[in-house]
Amino acid sequence: MATVTPLLSTHGISRHFGGLVAVDRVNFEVHPGEIRALIGPNGAGKTTLVNLICGRLVPSGGTIFFEGEEITHLPAHVRAGRKGIAYTFQITSIFGNLSCADNVALAAQRSLARANRHQTRKRRRAALSASITAMLDRVGLADRADMQAAALSYGHQRLLEVAMGLALQPKLLILDEPTQGLSDGEIEQFCQVVQAVANDATVLLIEHNMQVVMALAHRITVLHHGAILAEGTPEDIRANTTVQNAYLGS
């Protein structure tokens, strides 16, 4: 049976803040087409690990590979713009004074500029308009395209942020605490969006809502004190007594 090359892999990746070891020699792989959940108690190192993957932090040791190419020292904008790693933040990073459509346009222009650089201006405008409409429709915000982003509910702002991430046409979409502040109905809508996104992109989900994690994830990685405590399917993690004692409770 052929071995599948991971989309993303880290090898002994570490990050120290003075005497604090936030991420401790982590070997981590995400495979193409999967929805991978990264869970663990507060302070486990989840966001630090993701910031290392995205290039927002420099590792203290170890290496990071994306599509088989080492990206350990590539800056964040190169990982996002050229490599296809999109990261939606734990705190919404939308432009509140702009419309929903304009927010998505800012993200879409970056990816479309690469794909359509030889087209006429008219064709580029048409492609941008189509991309904005498609991304807003995917997250259920098509009817709010002209609304100022700041006027959206918090849950809809999170969905707008996902639309902005999708507009980058990522190979890897990283969602950091995306359901925080969402109502039950918005969480259900979000889950449908993620399942649809997984048809086109790989998803790395950092999430505390275990119902969401168990419903969406193909595999789960549990971090504890900056190191991997366990990995496996939702069923494996649910049955793991070490994880239950450290995090899930039983």
Report the CATH number that the domain containing residue 112 is assigned in CATH. Answer: 3.40.50.300
Which residues make beta-bridge pairs with 88? 175
Is 170 contained in some domain?
A: yes
CB distance 142 to 136 below 8 Å: yes
- For residues 27-45, give the mean pLDDT: 94
Q: Which region holds residue 69: left if phi is over 0, alpha if psi is between -120 and 50, else beta? A: beta
Q: 190 pLDDT band (50/70/90 cuts)?
A: confident
The C-alpha atoms of residue 220 and residue 166 are separated, in whole angstroms, by: 22
Residue 109's domain comprises 8-248
Is 2 contained in some domain?
A: no
- Indicate the DSSP class of residue 148: B
Is 70 contained in some domain?
A: yes
Statement: residue 181 has pLDDT above 50: yes
Is 197 contained in some domain?
A: yes
- For residues 154-175, give the mean pLDDT: 89
pLDDT tens, 199-211?
888 999 999 899 9
Is 172 contained in some domain?
A: yes
pTM of the model: 0.86
Q: Give pLDDT, residue 3.
A: 67
What domain count does the chain have?
1
